[in-house]
Structure 1
Amino acid sequence: MSNTKSHVEANFDGLVGPTHNYAGLSGGNLASLNNKTRPSKPKLAAKEGLKKMKSLHDLGMTQGVIAPLSRPDLGKLRELGFSGDDANVLKKAAEHSPALLAACSSASSMWTANAATVSPSADTEDGRLHFTPANLVNKFHRSIEHEQTGRILKAMFADEKHFAHHKALPMSSYFGDEGAANHTRFCNEYGDHGVGFFVYGETAFDNNAPKPQRFPARQTFEASSAIARTHGLADKKVVYAQQCPDVIDAGVFHNDVIAVGNRDVLFCHEQAFLNKESVYQDLNQALGKEMKIIEVPTASVSVQDAVASYLFNSQLLTLPSGETTLVVPRECEENSRVNDYLQSLITSKKGVDKLLCFDLKQSMQNGGGPACLRLRVVLSEQERAAMNPSVLMNDSLFETLNLWVDRHYRDEIHAKDLIDPSLVRESQAALDELTQILNLGSVYDFQQTGA
């Protein structure tokens, strides 16, 4: 048995894709809706993300990269009846439905908190690390991601002795699954048997259960419990909690917009959960000790300020130094009420030791902060040795990827650019080279078919 203290929690950030654009595709995500039709800056977006990855690597964190999906998804457009060469497919799709073309061109896979739910080997019945790609059925542009996502994850974590890969849950709203954005793992040491904390928006099969009225509940209890079963998690080590419907209607489309956790610390808004006292009690019981719960009162930070600043869409990290560190977007500094709260939190020394702030404006304007950009994977020494090392950040990879972005990415993309067939060629050339850099093999359809 491996030393539980030798396990690390790695962060795998999504690399922003070449077709990064603003199309307002995500109802319930206010930032996405508010920035619809603005020109995007793909090159800047990718470099913002790479800078965050490298900064965390430099602090001693295990940091990896997840490749973007191939977009536009010409195969999906052809499935929907648009025929001809690439230029004709794009032209016909734009004439029929610009929104559909935008959906198939979305670079939303950058938010890898939605890529999958991950259960460490210390928690699972068969002692393997389990992955289930999220079906993301609530939004069409995201529902077409899971097959490619699964291929990329398998290319990163290929050894079946150590890694188990599941298919996405059934493509039904009853099993709506948004991945790790609604899942947190609590533990003492990362290698200890931890607690899977699954947060859902509604119970799909119970018409009398509380539900939001304005925006959809994207995660269902049925999806969360199915993942817990397929990953082989022990019932006594799983806690389910429902989001407050009112905060979903206020723009909290995922739990990671209202709460974040790490080890034995939960940082959340006081309005995050229904029946919160029962939730806290269940967590304490499952963990076998009293959690460190940092509950932010509405009087200090309103739900509206939390959504606008993405205070809770932060990363809560334990640095190698042992310091508990909160990684926040620049918008938290720019909101005076949120900034005042954060300064008082650090001064109080009650659970968070330091703050790190990153400028992620390109991601934030499309509705994703620091936590959206990363998928957490707890790795033992053996699992790290068995995974694809080419996806792990280091000085050389950082330089290589920045040069790759400079060669292949546009400075700006406007809505009209999505009809340009040269954008397809540029994107495919970029991703073909990327798979060689990251040693992923042929994970994209265009590599397998020559399309």
Structure 2
Amino acid sequence: MSAVEINFDGLPGPTHNYAGLSVGNLASQTNVGEVSHPRAAALQGLAKMRTLMELGLVQGFLPPPLRPAAQVLRGFGFRGGDDEVLAAAAEADLALFRAACSASSMWRANAASVLAAPDTGDGRVHLVVANLAGMLHRSFEAQETFALLKRVFADEDRFAVHGPLPSARHFGDEGAANHMRLAASHGAPGLNIFVHGEASRGGGFPERQSLRASQAVARLAGLDPARTFYALQNAAAVQAGAFHNDVVAVANANVLLAHPQAFADPARLYRDLREGLPNLKVVETFGVSLADAVSSYLFNSQLVSLPGGGTALVLPSDVRENAAAWAAVEAVLAGDNPIERAVVVDVRESMRNGGGPACLRLRVPADGAAQAGIDPRFILDAARWEALAKVVEAYWPETITPADLTSPDLWAQAREAHAALEAAIG
């Protein structure tokens, strides 16, 4: 059955800031305390969305939840109106307050795991919301994301939206950033690969995705065990800053682009995958160190199937500025594989907080009937794109310093921006 993949990009929110909340994310830690540019972040994200539209792809978007999250802080015992709650939290527990200000929902690759209809037990697209248990600021998003995805994918004949797994250490789930799908086409039965860590290995950085969580997601969607694979992350990659698998590997259709140190046992994984997909193309980049892969986010690119055939690699501009990474791109384009085009996008504000092009989007394969079941307000056309851009230009702060986070003026501006965005969505 014919199907397309829709990229639902997260729109960076008006409180986009550099609080350094993500342990193991080198960019997040390196830029802590710097001045952020929320308006530029959102406009860069919108420009990337428009680029995908110009390639002829169906492009969706997912709005950010309201931040600072006064309603979350009430769960920690703070009382009063929103400003009273925020002020009290900022004074009593600044780290908790900063977590409630985070705009990290912009990285929608962590919103959920998406399982394609040809692979699931009931023939529907399944979305299992990630609990993001490994990071406090991200764990606040799970229930809001559940409500949002129920809103966007409300047609229960075509979609099954599952709530997050229990938020516990043994079930840490980071969503699509640790899941890959390989298939002859988006509408064909595919192979599902869940990449996970192993907490017992130790190390300075946490291994966020648990095997148990991945297995639970597969069961919830009714995946065929014979076509479902679990791959252990390479410990060296995690400790080099690959906090998610999508920092060192990306897959689309029958192509898997990966760093040679992405997986603990790549030879076995590739052998098993080829048994299920004989025409699999594995493209490894042997000339790129883990340090270059992480700093450039070469693998946090989007591999997309072009409407006229072939595959494009949508790269962050940082790749072009890294000699080893760009040489690898040129070698990939010249190689025997379907990747025929490189498209460079500027998402520097996201990159400075540790998220590249692939982090910003949630991939949803959908045939014609499923597309008709998606709320059209979240699918972009030229008019909707223009409306979003106007809201961002008018309401998003130009800059945020660390001291601004505790300002009632910023809180009011963020609420006004949120209301204007909801009005634009309708």
Give the alignment's TM-score, normalised by structure 1: 0.92
Match of 1:132, SS state, is: strand
- The code of the aligned residue for 1:415 comes to P
Q: Residue in 1 aligned with 2:146?
A: 150
* Within-5 A mapping of 1:122-201: 122-201=118-197
Q: Name the counterpart of 2:270.
A: 280
- Equivalent positions of 1:387-402 (< 5 A) are 387-402=374-389
Contact 2:310 2:338 in 1 (8 A): no
Cα shift readout 1:254-281 (whole Å, capped 9, x = no counterpart): 0000000000100001011111111011
Q: Which runs of 5+ in 2 are unaligned?
A: none
Distance in structure 2 (CA, Å) of the matches to 1:33 and 1:323: 37
Residue type at the aligned position of 2:282: I
1:263 counterpart = 2:253: yes
Equivalent residue for 1:384?
371
* 1:213 aligns to 2:200 (yes or no): no
Q: CA deviation at 1:323?
A: 2.1
Task: Please tell me the residue identity of whatever aligns with 2:302.
Answer: Q
Alignment-derived partner of residue 280 in structure 2: 291
Q: Provide the residue aligned with 1:11 in structure 2.
A: 7
CA deviations 1:175-218 (Å, max 9, x no partner) are: 0000000001111021111111100012x6xx5xxx24121110
Q: Which moved more, 1:244-253 or 1:344-353?
A: 344-353
How many Å separate the matches in 1 of 2:85 and 2:256?
48
Report the count of equivalent residues: 426
Structure 1 gap segments, 5+ residues each: 440-451
Q: Which residue of 2 aligns with 1:310?
A: 297
Whether the 8 Å contact between 2:184 and 2:254 is mirrored in structure 1 is: yes
Cα deviation per residue 1:131-179 (whole Å; 9 max; x = unaligned)?
1110001100001101110111111110111111111011101000000
Among candidates 298, 322, 327, match of residue 309 of structure 2 = 322
Give the aligned partner of residue 109 of structure 1: 105
TM-superposed CA distance for 1:295, in Å, is 1.0
Stretch of structure 1 that moved more, 390-399 or 91-100: 91-100
Instruction: State how far apart, in whole Å, the 1-side matches of 2:418 and 2:127 are.
Output: 23
Is the 1:137–1:171 Cα contact (8 Å) retained in structure 2? yes
CA contact (8 A) 1:239 1:286 kept: no
| 1:430 partnered with 2:420 | no
Residue in 1 that maps onto 2:226: 236
How far apart are residue 350 of structure 1 and its match? 3.2
- Who is 1:47 aligned against? 43
Question: Is 1:137–1:143's contact at 8 Å kept on the other side of the alignment?
Answer: yes
**Aligned equivalent of 1:67, options 40, 63, 69:** 63
CA distance in 1, matches of 2:160, 2:341: 36
Equivalent residues in 2 for 1:343-354 (5 A)?
343-354=330-341
Provide the TM-score with structure 2 as the length reference: 0.98
Conserved 8 A contact 1:118-1:132: yes
Residue 231 of structure 1, CA deviation = 0.6
